[in-house]
Structure 1
């Protein structure tokens, strides 16, 4: 059943959170967090691992083995979710031909599975959750050996399907994209194809949340921890121009791209709505020297982050299944903690729900106040916002620490708050109290 979100009457107060103190009207977001099912995730991860291999260059005709069978099953799952919610999802493939690279030497069709839950008021505005369909073993070109890819990345793909199951029971002003991306291990091919498709079709994507390995709690270093997750985000925009870089040098913004403020938003959502989960914001595009499927979206100009487990075990990723010197290698089902996967899936679902119920982030935020005791921020109003909120923090603080709700205006002056000493931003707030991510002034922070 498709149910409209109940009115939220959260009063926004100054403090460390993007939200106010809890009240009954926040219950829907808590309900979404609680609705993700570890049992359903286990079933879906087992199904994906059961296709034997999902290598990008693997079998496509079989109904039981290879990436072709896997992507058809994913599409069928989205189709069933849509049927259960009265046709609320638009499900289709977006594909392209890749060839002539070291990892894809011959032409191959790389196929992504896309499901769109259209927004009621602002359907061209999107938030997106993605997981990777493909898997691999030690040899990146081995498309035939068993490669269950249980954690990398059946967990992210199953989480995306589960988020669609949960959120399809609600309606939102903004649209939500649920995506299975192919070709990740062969060079982030599917992300490049879908990012190009989004640009060609004028999709206004405000956030891409890429989930890549959200099921392991046992690190290669011996740490066992199911209470933390990492969010990786770029600090400065990849598409920044020389003039914009010059402006950033004098005004700041090295740690305030839209992607970085998305990470802060996710961190606050975790603190507020996901029990026993702390987000580690990592100030880096991805793990050291490595990559993920959020990167092509950053390179296309979209805000994009990666959510993943905190403790990786390299014996259980990108490995042939074997036992060697008493050590078990391989990405198999027994290494996945399904409760942990459910927790990180809930983090995604609540974040997307909050962003989709909130108005878009404010546009064209600017700031002035040099050689003055006061700081003035200005912005363009956005549809659905009934008030705006100004935020500030010390330049060494990781999270926004101070805030003030300023009403339905497009400019506001903070008296006796000196511009030199803080970083500033603006968020938009709906009539029901749901808030957007914070926008840092100028092109450095624009969404």
Structure 2
């Protein structure tokens, strides 16, 4: 395919060149194309409808099942993981029915064999609610959000003792349920999948099963994030921080042998431009835009130090995946038997949750999901020309298929900057020449629709 390469006006070109030579990063973007700063009324409405009161009700109901250990009772209607999953499914079905019946709710089940944390073959059941996309060109693209509804106490194998799991992870489960119920009232171009998974504490069993099936079916999962331990705004010393959430984003994947994609990232210095890092930038931009005063703090690790969560099975299968977690965990209220010692209460109880804080995290999730599902797909096959030595950077890409596409946006940043510093909307072209050196800047290309919804950036690889 022959690419059309656009250039900027001579005035902006001169400004960019002079700024680059002076060591600055030109950031101005002429007022052409859609208004990228305008809030989408639909997303504002979604964010405003996230309710801390409903989230609290979900958490207290989940805690009321006494334990949700993966190997706990499945017969009782009042205790154990079986009762919990049936209640979650019924609640999501109730929400779906109230909002037109488009939310498709189902169990996703498999038998997990005996392993280090499973003493007998055990049915592990995810509750999955799918909201199909309504734009045919986008509906196959999916965004997945999860929380795990199983719980544990001090003994990982104790399937009958009290394990309320109010924060770990009724908080994430409640956030996902609230998002599903609110967002089921709306239409999105791409498909949204809301999952509450089991078996996390026993080895990420439910998430791994679903990710395996998704990979085998070659599902187009453009982004996944899990919410795990998002319930508390205070640390073990009582210090309150309700103004931010940690968002863990992997750079280079953990692999025995590097793939061609990873080798290209390393060769071109793109370790900070993996699919997950690009997704994290998009989530941060949308979250902070629609939830003002609340910071999405990108942590450049796949998870907390040598720890893991339900996004990891997706990372291992090549999907972009992220983890939301509160600013500072209080370990006296996590994986602990209920007890009081020297006047200090141990255990993961609702009294230690901050429901307003959980709602803020859920709003960030919902804003990001809505923005991503309304935006076009990230541009494909983005390349940088390397046939000749030059100080400009020529970018090429394949056209998007979405009918509401307005055009593309080229973004750039200095090599020591974590986020994009400059941008230029370039219209419906498939190539663009930037008067900045690929030696000194990182580049990306985003797709923009007619309403101003923006995709994550795609990192350009060398055109040999």
Q: Which of 190, 195, 202 is 2:218 aligned to?
A: 202
Q: Which residue of 1 aligns with 2:346?
A: 329
CA contact (8 A) 1:13 1:405 kept: no
From 281, 286, 308, the equivalent of 2:325 is 308
Deviates more, 1:295-304 or 1:250-259: 250-259
Which secondary structure state, in structure 1, belongs to the residue aligned with residue 79 of structure 2?
coil
Corresponding residue to 1:212 among 212, 228, 233? 228
Q: How far apart are the structure 2 equivalents of 1:205 and 1:403?
A: 27
1:295 aligns with 2:312: yes
Give me the whole-angstrom Cα distance separating, in 2, the residues matched to 1:191 and 1:64: 25
Following superposition, the deviation at residue 201 of structure 1 comes to 2.8
CA contact (8 A) 2:36 2:452 kept: no
Corresponding residue for residue 48 of structure 1 = 62
| Equivalent position SS for 2:167 | helix
| Larger deviation, residues 379-388 vs 186-195 | 379-388
Secondary structure of 2:104's aligned partner: strand
Q: Is the 8 A contact 1:358 1:434 kept in 2?
A: yes
> How far is the alpha carbon of 1:63 from its aligned partner?
0.7
1:45-124 correspondence runs (5 A)? 45-121=59-135, 122-124=138-140
The answer to whether the 8 Å contact 1:13/1:20 transfers is no
Aligned-CA RMSD value:
1.8
1:198 CA displacement? 1.1
8 Å contact 1:234–1:260 — kept in the other structure? yes
Counterpart of 1:153 in structure 2 is 169
> Which structure is larger by alpha-carbon Rg, 1 or 2?
2
State the secondary structure of the residue aligned to 1:376.
strand
Q: What is the match of residue 8 of structure 1?
A: none
Moved more, 246-255 or 83-92: 246-255
**Could you list the per-position Cα deviations for residues 118-146 of structure 1 after superposition, in whole angstroms to 9, with x for gaps in the alignment?**
00112211111101010000010011111
Corresponding residue number in structure 1 for 2:298: 281
- Residue number in structure 1 paired with 2:445: 426
Work out whether residues 236 and 253 of structure 1, in 8 Å CA contact, stay in contact via their aligned partners in 2. no
1:292-318 CA-partner distances (Å, limit 9, x unpaired):
000001011111000111121010000
Q: Deviation digits for residues 72-128 of structure 1, max 9, x if unmatched?
A: 111111111110111111111112111231101321111111111000112211111
Residue 243 of structure 1, CA deviation: 3.3
CA contact (8 A) 2:287 2:365 kept: no
Superposed counterparts of 1:21-420, under 5 Å:
22-23=37-38, 26-121=40-135, 122-238=138-254, 241-369=258-386, 371-384=389-402, 385-414=405-434, 416-420=435-439
Deviations 1:306-343 (A, max 9, x none): 01111210100000011112221100010010000100
**Unmatched segments (≥5 aa) in structure 2:** 1-26
Distance verdict in 2 for CA 1:356–1:68, change over 3 Å: same
Contact 2:113–2:121 (CA under 8 A) maintained in structure 1? yes
Residues 229, 326 of structure 2: 8 Å contact kept: yes
Structure 1 unaligned residues grouped into runs of 5+: 1-11
Count of paired positions:
427
Aligned CA distance change for structure 1 residues 431 and 111 (closer, same or farther; 3 Å): same
| Displacement after TM superposition at 1:286 (Å) | 0.4
The alignment partner of 1:371 has SS state of coil
Tell me which of 2, 5, 29 is aligned to 1:14: 29
Question: How many angstroms does 1:214 deviate by?
Answer: 1.2
Give the whole-Å Cα distance in 2 for the aligned partners of 1:228 and 1:306: 14
Could you tell me how far 1:264 is from its partner in structure 2? 1.1
8 A contact 2:100–2:185 mirrored in 1:
no
CA distance in 2, matches of 1:232, 1:405: 29
TM-score under structure 1 length normalisation: 0.92
Q: Is the 8 A contact 1:321 1:330 kept in 2?
A: yes
Once the 2 structures are TM-superposed, how far is the Cα of residue 270 of structure 1 from its aligned partner?
2.5
Moved more, 68-77 or 212-221: 212-221
